[in-house]
Amino acid sequence: MGQLGKTRFVDLEEARAARGLRLVLITGLSSPWSDGARGIFALKGIDALIVRFRPGDAEVMAWTGAPNAPVALYDDEPPRAGWAEIVALAERLAPAPALVPAGVEARARMFGLLHELLGEGGLAWSRRLLILHESLRPDDPARPRCGFPADLARLLAARYGYAPDRIPAARQRLVEGLSFLGGLLADSAAAGSRHFFASGLTALDFYAAAVTAVLVPPPDDVRRIVPAFRPALEHLDAEVAAAVPPVLLAHRDFIYQTYMREVTASTPPVATKAP
Ligand SMILES: N[C@@H](CCC(=O)N[C@@H](CS)C(=O)NCC(=O)O)C(=O)O
C-alpha cells in the first residue's frame, strides 16, 4: 500500500475557494456512500479537503446541488454525487492502484454488485429503512427505541421513501443480499483471496465493508461513531442479525483495519448531534 491521501477538514468558504478534490462527507457515522468514497480516494493517495455534511445545511447544498452526501468536487468540474461517478472520478484521477477490475465482464459485474449494495432499494437503502422504522415506531416503555433522533428520522423518511409497508421487502432484500455476498466471499476464500475479486482489492471491497459497518459497526478505535448514533447502527432485527455471514464480518474487519482505520478513526469529533 502506498502513501494514503492526506485529508484536512475545512469550512465551506475554504473549500469553495480551493481547487483539487473537495469531498462533502458524512463523518460522524459509517455512512456506506461516504465511507466507501473516502476510503477509495485515500487508498489512491489523492489528497482532499473535507467539508462535513450536516442534513439540511442549505449553503452546502446550494454549493453541491445535492441534498445529501457524499459529493465529490474536482476543480471546476460539475459536482458528482452518485457512487458510480465518484468511483469513475477516483479511477481517472489516480489510475493506480486500480480499484475497478480490468475487462468488460469483471467491470460490469463489480458495478452490478455495487448497485445491489448502494442503489435505490439495495442493501444500504434497505438498512436505512429498517433504522427509520425503529426510529419512528410508537413509544414502548418496555423497549426503548434504538433509532435516530426523531427530527432527523422524519427528514430521512421523507427523502428516502420510508413507509411501514416497505419494511418486509427491505428485510427480505437484506437477508438475500447478505447471503449472496457471503457466498461470494466464501468462493473467494476457497480460491485463496481475501477480496471479492481474485484479481485483488476493488471498490466493492470498500463499499461492502462500509455497508457491513452499518449492520454491525466496528469499534470506535477502528471507525469512530458519534455516541448518539451508535445504538441505531447496532440495533438489528433478529432475522437480519442472523443473516450477517461471519465471513462478511471478517472482511469488514480486514478492510477497515488495513485500509480505512487511519482514515476514519482519526475523524475529529463532531460538535453537534448531526451525522
Ligand atoms: N448520492 C448517493 C446516495 C447518498 C446517500 O444516500 N446519502 C445519505 C446517507 S444516509 C445521506 O446523505 N443522508 C443524509 C441526508 O439525506 O440528509 C448515491 O446514490 O450515490
In this structure, which residue's CA is closest to atom 20 in ligand 1? Answer: 82
Residues of the chain above pLDDT 70, percent: 96
Q: What's the mean per-residue pLDDT of the chain?
A: 95
How far, in Å, CA of 226 to CA of 211, rounded? 17
For residue 115, is pLDDT > 60? Answer: yes
Contacts of 62 (CB under 8 A, 6+ apart): none
> How does pLDDT run across 129-151, given as a tens digit for each residue?
999 999 999 989 999 999 999 99
Contacts of 187 (CB under 8 A, 6+ apart): none
> How does pLDDT run across 227-244, given as a tens digit for each residue?
999 999 999 999 999 999
Task: Determine phi and psi for 22, rounding to 5 degrees.
Answer: -120, 130
Evaluated on CA atoms 29, 83, 246, 162, the torsion sign reads positive
Task: Name the more confident of 157 and 56.
Answer: 157
pLDDT of residue 246: 98
The DSSP bridge pattern shows strands 21-25 and 48-52 to be: parallel
One DSSP character per residue, 187-205 reads: HHHHTT-SSSBTTB--HHH
Of ligand 1's listed atoms, the one at least distance from the Cα of 156 is 16
Of ligand 1's listed atoms, the one at least distance from the Cα of 66 is 1
**Cα(186) to centroid of ligand 1, in Å?**
30
- Return left, alpha or beta for 258; rule: phi > 0 is left, psi -120 to 50 is alpha, else beta: alpha
> How does pLDDT run across 247-273, given as a tens digit for each residue?
999 999 999 999 998 888 777 666 444
For residue 203, is pLDDT > 60? Answer: yes
Q: Are 245 and 181 in contact (CB under 8 A)?
A: yes
For residue 14, is pLDDT > 70? Answer: yes
Cell 459509517 sits on residue: 30
Mean predicted confidence (pLDDT) in 76-91? 98
pTM over cut 0.85 = yes
**Cα(231) to centroid of ligand 1, in Å?**
20
**Cα(159) to centroid of ligand 1, in Å?**
9
- Sheet with 21-25, strands from edge to edge, namely 7-9, 48-52, 21-25, 71-74
**Cα(100) to centroid of ligand 1, in Å?**
22
Rounded to whole angstroms, what are the CA distances from 214 to 17, 47, 219? 34, 26, 12
